[in-house]
Amino acid sequence: MPIMLWDDTLDLGVEPMNDEHKQILDVMNRIYDARAQGREGAAVDLLVAELGRVCTRHFADEEAYMARIGYPGLETHKRLHQQLLERVRQHAEAIKAAGGRPTDEFFEFLRFWLTSHIKGIDTKYAAHATAA
């Protein structure tokens, strides 16, 4: 059972970014499923590390896209990305320290972050792209 499913409310109308958001969601779901199956330890730590890599790559791609379209909120968006990556790093350290066992707080953070970031923040650059 996944933590979240992709739906049309997450669609930005920017396919490369949609595809990357789907990749993030896929890794989140694999971490969630691993916990539901009772898996823990190094295997879960690897999934959490993969989430960090996917997010880092996505944020770089998203920032490059925003620069290409001349999005005026780029610097603010970059700072949000840095904060999110720091939160992911902190959660990864806590999960590793707990023997590869993610907490409900971690999953609540992921669910809130992905939904609010896409629907509340990313929609702004998507609107700018379509208006340009």
Per residue of the chain (132 residues), what is the pLDDT tens digit?
A: 788 889 999 999 999 999 999 999 999 999 999 999 999 999 999 999 999 999 999 999 999 999 999 999 999 999 999 999 999 999 999 999 999 999 999 999 999 988 898 888 999 999 999 886
Number of other residues whose CB lies within 10 A of the CB of residue 5: 9
Domain spans of the chain?
13-131
For residue 2, CA distances in Å to 29, 42, 57, 105 come to 5, 21, 23, 16
* 81/70 Cα distance (integer angstroms): 18
Q: Are 44 and 102 in contact (CB under 8 A)?
A: yes
Q: Are 24 and 54 in contact (CB under 8 A)?
A: yes
Number of other residues whose CB lies within 10 A of the CB of residue 66: 22
CATH superfamily of 13-131: Hemerythrin-like (1.20.120.50)
Q: What is the pTM assigned to this prediction?
A: 0.92
Q: Which residues contact 59 (CB under 8 A, 6 or more apart)?
A: 81, 84, 85
